[in-house]
Structure 1
Amino acid sequence: MANKVLPLHADTVGSYLRSAPLKAARAQFAEGNISRAELTAVEDAEIEKLVQAQLAAGIQVITDGEYRRSWWHIDFLENLNGIEGYVPEEAYNFRGVSVRKYNIRCSGKISWNDAHPFLDHFKSLQKIVNGRGIVKFTIPSPNQLMYDYQLNTAVYPNKAAMMKDVQKAYQDAINAFYAAGCRYLQIDDVYWGTLCNNKDLPSFPADKAQALENVQAILSVKPADMTVTTHVCRGNYKSSYRLTGAYDPIADALFAQTDYDGYFLEYDDERSGGFEPLKYFAANKGRVVLGLVTSKFPEPEDKEFIKSRIREAAQYVPLEQLCLSPQCGFASTEEGNILTEEQQWAKVRLVEEIAREIWGED
């Protein structure tokens, strides 16, 4: 499996619905009724079951489902030096639902934490998989620290100064994950989706330029035998979303000027626009992973319709450079989207089946 081109033609974004035993154990831990060691033991057991379920669904790229996290991004970011979690007075809103009150902010100079718990999380996953599949690990993008409210002017004079330290922290993170054995790292990024949504703001050109600089700075240290991909998201909480906007405003930067090995793009509804922005991949050697199968709703997609959409995208990107995945994770937070585990695995199997029929075996 080590010689396969990544992303695979059938791939996955990464998070899965939390199992009932895991939810119960996390609640018990929060209430102080079990120890951290007891929670970890449950997490290990449930991740083993999850790995088996992924293999049974036919997927070759294996993640830990983000089972050890409450949030897809905050758990990683608040364990960097200089970032703290806190409970804000108000939650931010998605379409029709308010997100649980918790967020992050700068509390001091930002740097990589050599004792970051995600390193052990990766090592544990690799041990559990034990060569049965391709291990992929997910972390949030440095761009998740680009929001204005996160800047602490008592620490940094401006956002650009803060992002220099963030870039260095992420360079150190990539090196640390590589040293731990990680060869497939996915960097999840809502900020590009925010830019698509905010394209008419006066700050848009400068913010896009900074986001591009952040990405290229961290990819500059990527080892040659490490695959680093990105997933561009528009928000995923209890089957709701936060952002809209086609890829057109960011395509010239993200698709034509960054050096990711793969780009997981949401294309499950009209919010993401059409495939025309993919023309900016003309000189990009990375693979484009089309998120045409929604992770938000249980209804199964029509297989022939998905195939027709892939053929449509192939007008802009060679078919061999295209892949298929769910549009996002199934549980970007521990609450999860509104579908059953059975429906979740039906979606994963559908991705695998369509990919095999179009591209054959990876």
Structure 2
Amino acid sequence: MTKERGNVTQTKRAPFNADHVGSFLRPERIKDARYQKERGKISAVELRNIEDEEIRKLVEKQKQAGLISITDGDLRRSWWHFDFLEGLAGVEGYEPEEGIQFSGVQTKAYSVRVVDRVDFHNHPMIEDYKFLHSVVGDEHVPKFTIPSPNMLFFRGDINPEIYADEETLLSDLTQAYQKAIKAFYDEGCRYLQMDDTSWAAFFSEEGLNKIKERGQDPDRLRDLFVQAVNQSIAERPEDMVITMHICRGNFRSTYSASGGYEAISETLFNELKVDGLFLEFDDERSGGLEPLQHVKRKDLKIVLGLITSKFPELENKERIKNQLEEAAGYVSKDQLCLSPQCGFASTEEGNNVTEEEQWAKIRHVVEIAEEVWGTR
């Protein structure tokens, strides 16, 4: 289905030529309200009312910037992954001794652990999606983001007394995700994105060595990751788009992994059954576009993250267009889209950019997409 929007014809099928990963900088009002809530000075209801108001504002800003897909910016979350995972039955958050190590900086100490059989019911993010859906309107597409099931494998502390083997955990976890996907779908969600940093461990020798140091076999782990994703989405309805963002880490404008897609491109591009892949290509750590030659699926959308969300400088338009032209030598132009390489605030701390610089990046993506494809 298409609609005329000015001189631009938009195709209402995600992902879009101009898209985005999803998170935005947290407004100071939300940061202050969360601080007040933690100290008992305002109630949970008062905090949620403030979040509602700020999400409404964010939705309008996304529309004004020219986006078709609209998220809630993760404004209710502290983390891009832990908030969802600890909402699963059998999973709880806790404070380990150390945070997650990034390049030159470490996050605050927080993680999740499995304390009972994993399941999905009465998850608070269903209400979060319902609110987003209610304020987006018919001319735009609400998009919701959740972590990939692999993140519980990769980041979760698994109690061996509950799960003695990975196969049993895989079975419960994928069933929980199937229930989650159905619950989001039943509330109207037709565009769901799974975010995943676990694949980055396969991009370099350093990453592979870390897998081995954990006592895991890389080939075995790769197969488990594929199974986890594909089984989780196996029963999704035909009119529901599910994409995956493959990330190298994003915290205060730093990163946690490096390396190109070559070593695992066959798996990512041809074994995963997602409808689209958001890929990071914003700097030399990402490698070149050559791995795209391994894309064999004609129905797979490739969203190229050529615009960085980590730094404020706007990329040269002609350079981005040349990169898109190069990518079209490997994959049909109709399969390609453009976005920032990651969100602007994968955690509540956010990247080292201002709000205006954030929106300048989004407008940059929209303008380039309109010039290259004639559509958003």
Report the CA distance between 1:245 and its aligned residue: 1.5
Per-residue deviation, residues 306-341 of structure 1 (Å, max 9, x unmatched): 111111111111111100000000000000000000
Q: Are positions 1:156 and 2:163 aligned together?
A: yes
Residue 54 of structure 1 aligns with which residue?
62
* Aligned residue in 1 for 2:5: none
- After TM superposition, the structure 1 = structure 2 runs for residues 1-362 of structure 1, keeping only pairs within 5 Å, are 4-113=12-121, 115-147=122-154, 150-197=157-204, 198-199=207-208, 202=212, 203-362=217-376
Instruction: Compare 274-283 and 195-204 and name the one that shifted more.
Output: 195-204
3-state SS of paired residue (1:126)? helix
Instruction: Note the C-alpha offset of 1:122.
Output: 0.2
Give yes or no for contact 1:193–1:244 (8 Å, CA) kept in 2.
Answer: yes
User: How far is 1:148 from its partner?
Assistant: 7.4
User: TM-score, structure 1 length as denominator?
Assistant: 0.97
Instruction: Give the gaps of 5 or more residues in structure 1.
Output: none
Q: Which sits farther off after the overlay, 18-27 or 118-127?
A: 18-27
Question: How far is the alpha carbon of 1:195 from its aligned partner?
Answer: 2.5
SS at 2:134's partner residue? helix
Question: What are the Cα deviations for residues 112-162 of structure 1, in whole angstroms up to 9, with x where unaligned?
Answer: 12x100000000001111224111000000000122762211101122321
Secondary structure of the residue aligned to 1:231 is: strand
What is the CA-CA distance between 1:299 and the residue it aligns to? 1.0
Look up the SS of the partner of 1:34 in the other structure: coil
Checking the alignment, whether the CA contact within 8 Å between 1:256 and 1:284 is kept in structure 2 is: no
Q: Once the 2 structures are TM-superposed, how far is the Cα of residue 266 of structure 1 from its aligned partner?
A: 0.5
**Root-mean-square deviation over aligned CA pairs:** 1.4
CA distance in 1, matches of 2:286, 2:275: 21
Deviates more, 1:118-127 or 1:189-198: 189-198
SS in 2 for 1:75: helix
User: In structure 1, what is the Cα distance between the partners aligned to 2:99 and 2:186?
Assistant: 38
1:284 to partner: Cα distance: 4.1
Conserved? CA contact 1:151–1:159, under 8 Å: no
Distance 1:45 1:283 in 2: 42
Q: What's the % identity of the aligned pairs?
A: 48
Instruction: Kindly provide the amino acid, as one letter, of the partner of residue 194 in structure 1.
Output: A
CA contact (8 A) 1:235 1:243 kept: yes
Distance 1:148 1:192 in 2: 12
In the aligned structure 1, how far is the partner of 2:289 from the partner of 2:260?
Answer: 9
Partner Cα distance (2:96, 2:318) in 1: 46
Q: Distance in 2 between matches of 1:87 and 1:361?
A: 46
- 1:249 alignment partner, SS class: helix
TM-superposition CA deviations, 1:198-248 (whole Å, max 9, x none): 235551111111111111101211100001000000111111110112111
Contact 1:238 1:337 in 2 (8 A): yes
Q: Contact 1:151–1:158 at 8 Å: present in 2 too?
A: no
Rounded Cα–Cα distance in structure 1 between residues aligned with 2:370 and 2:237: 30
- Separation (CA, whole Å) in 2 of partners of 1:160 and 1:268: 36
Give the residue type in structure 1 aligned to 2:40: G
CA distance in 2, matches of 1:222, 1:254: 19
CA distance in 2, matches of 1:31, 1:358: 50
